[in-house]
Structure 1
C-alpha cells in the first residue's frame, strides 16, 4: 500500500509522463478560410500493358491562385505506372473544386511532377484568381491541435475534422507528421491546417485505425513558384486613380455673382448668373448657390458638360415689382461658389491607370 507521500509522488510522476493534450482549434475558421482551396482529384488512364486503370480518387490543396495544387503522389500514380504516349502519359487528372455557392465544378485537367523523396506531387492547371491556401513558413508546434479538411470521394463537399499532432517515429518516417486521425482510402492528399488557418502538411498514409501520416510543407514549399501578388480589384484601381489625380491637378476656387433689379411699377426682369471654366479646366464637386431676393426667385443650377468635363454652371434669376405706386422694388441676386481643376490629358490618365494596375 502506498503512503500519502508515495501516493502523491506516484500521481505527479503519472502527470509528468502523460502526453500533453492539445487544445482544439476552431474548425469553422479553418473551413471558412480554406474550403475553396481544397479540391477533389479523379485519375483515369491506361497502364503500360494498355489496360484501363480503375479510377483513382483523392484530394489536393490549391497553393497558388494560378492553379498550382499539391497532393499525394500515389493518388495520381508515378509516371512508370501509366502507358507512355507521344504526348506524355496516358493519364487524365481531373480537378474538381467548389464555387462560391459551395457547388462542385470542374477546374480542368492537370499536369504533374513528383516531389523527390516524399509521397507528394505538384499539379498544375490552367487557371487564374483561384482561392489558395496560405502555406505555413514555420514548423508546427509539437503535440498541437490541427484541422484536416477531408473530401470523401463519395461526398459533394469537403469536411473539416479536428486532429492532434502526436510524436513521429523518426526512425521509420523521418520528418513526416503523425496525426491522431482516422482516415480511409480516398482521403490521401487532404490538407492539414494550423490555428492560423495555414497549410502545414498533406496526408499521405494511414498508419493504423487512429493515426495518419502527413508530409510537411517544407518538403515541397521550395519547389513552388513565388506567390502571385493579388490582382487589384476595380474598386482598388478606381481609388488609386482618384488619389493620383488629386496629386496632379491644380485646384482653384471661383465665385461669381449676378442678378436683376425691378424698379418700375409692374416691372419684370429675367437674367442668368453663369460661370464658365477656363479651357483645360473642369468644375468639380457641388457648386454652392447663395441667393438674395425680394419679389424675386433663383432657379436650379444647370451644369453643361463638354465631353468628360463640366465646363459651365448657371442659374436663372428673375424679379418683379408689385403693381402699386409706393414700396420697394424687386431684385434677385445669386452667387455661385465652387472649385475648378485642370483636366488631365489622355496620356496622363493612361499613365495613372497603368501605375495603379501594376501596384
Structure 2
C-alpha cells in the first residue's frame, strides 16, 4: 500500500513507522513534516516532504503528495508556542481542512484522523463514555477547542458526501506516551532551566486526589491505526490503556509521596507561572486533565480486534524511565532535550511559548 503520514516524525508517527516497518509488509511510506529527519533508523525507508500545514499553499501541495495514496494518516498537530494560538489553530484546524480537501481531490482510498479524548464535551469526568458523546470540547483549553473544531470539519464533510466521499476513521485516544518521546514531551512541558532528570527525583507529588485520566502507550495507538487500515474501518474509535490512571499510580511510578492540592489551586499556580513566563504549559492543559472522561474502548476491541499491550501504569513507567535516561529519537520533534541548547534558544530566539515556530 501507499501510505502517507502527516506528522510522521512525532510521537505517534514514530511509533506508527516502527509498527509498519516491523510488520515486514512492502508498503510505500511517505512522510509529510515541517522538519524532515535524517534518513536513519525507522525514518530511513520513508519518502519525506517538507511542508508546514499552516501555509496557505498546503492544500495544493498535499494534493500532489496524496496522488495514488491508498491511505492518509493525519497526525500533524501543534503543541507550542502556547502564546501563539492563531498559529496553533492554523496548524491543527486549518491543517485538517487542508488534508481533507486534498484527500478528496486526490480520491484517497481512506483517511485516518488523529482526534483525542480532548475533543469530548465536559461533564463526564471519571465516567466511561462511548463514541457517541458530543465532541464539543472544553472551552478553556485551546488544544481541546481545536480538536473539537477539526471534528466539526469532518462532520460537515460527511454530511455533504452521504453517498460517497473519502471514508474517514477518527481515533480518539487518551494521553499518549512512550519512552522515545521523553525528550520531546519534556521540551514542551518543562522550563528551559529545569533538567529532565529532576522529574523522577521528586520527593512529593502535589496533585489533586481526584485525578483519573485515560492514558495509552504510543505503540498501542499505532496498532489501532494499522488495524483500521487493514480492516478499512471507518468511524470513531476510543483508545485507552487500563486501568484509568490515578494520582496514586503516578506517585507509585515516581516513587514519590502524594500530597493533595485542589485542582483550582494548581490551575491558578499554572496560570500565574505561565503568564510570568516561568513555564511553557498554559492552564488549559490542567483543565483538560480534570475534565476529560474515561473511555469505553469496546468498539475498537470488537471491530478492529484491538487490545492494548501496555497497561496505563506500564506506559507511564516507560516514559518516566525515559525521562530519567534522557531518552529521545532521531527526529526534530523528539530530539534530545539539551538544557544548554534550550537556554541558548530562549535567549537568542525568544521563549518557546512566544516564538513563531517551536
Q: TM-score, normalised by structure 2?
A: 0.20
TM-score by length of 1: 0.20
Radius of gyration: which is bigger? 1
- Which is strand-richer, 1 or 2? 1
Higher relative contact order (CA 8 A, sep 6+): 2
